[in-house]
Amino acid sequence: MPEFGLTEPRIRGRPRGFEAVDAIQAATRLFWAVGYVAASVDQLCKTMQMPRATLYSAFGGKERLFLAAIDHYAKTRLVPLAAALGPKGTLAQDLADFFDHAVVLATQDATTPGCLISCVLSDAAGANPIFRAELDSRYAALEHQIAVRLRMSQDAMPTPPEVLAVLLASVARGLMLRARSGATTANLQPVAAAAAQVFGQPSGV
Amino acid sequence: MPEFGLTEPRIRGRPRGFEAVDAIQAATRLFWAVGYVAASVDQLCKTMQMPRATLYSAFGGKERLFLAAIDHYAKTRLVPLAAALGPKGTLAQDLADFFDHAVVLATQDATTPGCLISCVLSDAAGANPIFRAELDSRYAALEHQIAVRLRMSQDAMPTPPEVLAVLLASVARGLMLRARSGATTANLQPVAAAAAQVFGQPSGV
DNA sequence: TAAATAAAAGAATGATTGTTCTATAAATTG
DNA sequence: CAATTTATAGAACAATCATTCTTTTATTTA
């Protein structure tokens, strides 16, 4: 079973005519912009600047390329987002950073509004059990990181951290969805601030 | 310009071989289950039990059928959801009803997890400006209803109702997304309860 | 320099896409 | 009953889909 991806550099044979990181980034952006099914292999090859055969030999097809794009998105976009949780300051401050970061991620580029996972993978999850499992594990991973951060807080919480973590993640995902409909950074930043204020007040939850 | 839909009953000519409301309901369920692009006209005709020509003459094509499905979904699913806001009891009670209703809507049928608007239309909105405008107006409509309910509350709120309404709607949408990944009613009901508790406490926000 | 290796380029694949067309069937109207 | 109207059934359409193939080109190794 071949390992697909762009990690191992090839030594022998004709060298590749494309930049590995540029290619996966371009694929990620196309999926993000138009969705999984709507992004054709033709379009993908064009934006990735590689022939079809190379896409298949390097990534194993459209489905696995999409999973690679999800992974690239998580590493480059969600890791920084989760890092905003710190802990660097108070829970309220860290949550403010977190929600604000989410808004910026979802609104900073009008050609890719919203979130690749919450707006695109969530649709694809309907028809494909592999994608549904991927969606579930990506969601669980973020919630776990939030729960860890919550447990660091000194506040005694009536709500279990695991439950509160799902709620906080849901707020962030809801903001992503609103960005998909065209809401701007300016539209959503007050909402993010309100969320941080609600959930950040000591013993509030 | 012809008006598409199934509202006007045809008098002359051969009678239709399908039930109007069943047909649009079946289309709604297929879009909901697999997504807009993944739902083919072939599949739609089968589940709607009508020939292709009829689908085109009655609905004007796939895109307009999808918009009709969105409208049917809004009327049959979102109207009851918004009705949970009341006002019937305290804000806390009404919000508890609202979030719980959202969870049930998103989890009650495993073949159609999540929300047609938040999980399917939000993906389609990426490639189609008409769908993006539709998404925006559907989102705005719910937020408006929430804002109206908030203004009925006696509590003095530091956060403007319009902003808080977007936040509350975002929570509901985030719950829909989590259901899309396979989360069950039991998984999400505690989260819905926590949300109601947070946002329902007097002057909390 | 010759053999081996791997990508590039693009044709070819068969299946499926959304849409439209033709011919037939079933109802109402005059 | 004849004319009109509308739906049905299914063929036909060109376009596009994801995938695989062949041939050529560029590089490394021996």
When pLDDT is averaged across residues A26-46 and rounded to a whole number, the result is: 97
**Three-state SS at B192:** helix
Token representation of residue B36: 């807009």
Compute the distance between CA of residue B46 and CA of residue A119 in angstroms, rounded to an integer: 28
Query: What is residue A136's predicted lDDT score, i.e. its pLDDT?
Result: 98
Of the candidates A60, A111, A62, the one whose C-alpha atom is nearest the C-alpha of residue B38 is: A62
Compute the distance between CA of residue A176 and CA of residue A194 in angstroms, rounded to an integer: 16
Compute the distance between CA of residue B117 and CA of residue B135 in angstroms, rounded to an integer: 7
Residue A130: pLDDT band by 50, 70, 90 thresholds?
Answer: very high
When pLDDT is averaged across residues A177-187 and rounded to a whole number, the result is: 98
Handedness of CA A126, A187, A194, B97 (dihedral sign): negative
Query: What is residue A2's predicted lDDT score, i.e. its pLDDT?
Result: 54
Q: Which residues of A touch B118 (CB under 8 A)?
A: 177
Of the candidates A173, B182, A89, B96, the one whose C-alpha atom is nearest the C-alpha of residue A165 is: A173
The answer on pLDDT for A117 being more than 80 is: yes
Tens-digit pLDDT profile for residues B117-142: 999 999 999 999 999 999 999 999 99
Non-local CB neighbours of B2 within 8 Å, separated by 6+ positions: B60
Do A175 and A192 contact (CB within 8 A), yes or no?
yes
**Three-state SS at B74:** helix
The answer on pLDDT for B9 being more than 80 is: no
CB of B129 under 7 A from strand D? no
Query: What is residue A201's predicted lDDT score, i.e. its pLDDT?
Result: 81
Tens-digit pLDDT profile for residues B29-52: 999 999 999 999 999 999 999 999
What amino acid occupies position A83?
A
Compute the distance between CA of residue A178 and CA of residue B113 in angstroms, rounded to an integer: 19
* Report field, pTM of the whole predicted structure over 0.85: yes
Interatomic distance B23 CA / C19 C1' (Å): 20
Query: What is residue B24's predicted lDDT score, i.e. its pLDDT?
Result: 96
Q: Does B175 touch chain A (CB under 8 A)?
A: yes
Query: What is residue B161's predicted lDDT score, i.e. its pLDDT?
Result: 95
Tally the C-alpha atoms within 13 A of residue B75's C-alpha that lie toward its C-beta: 10
The answer on pLDDT for B115 being more than 80 is: yes
Interatomic distance A113 CA / C1 C1' (Å): 56
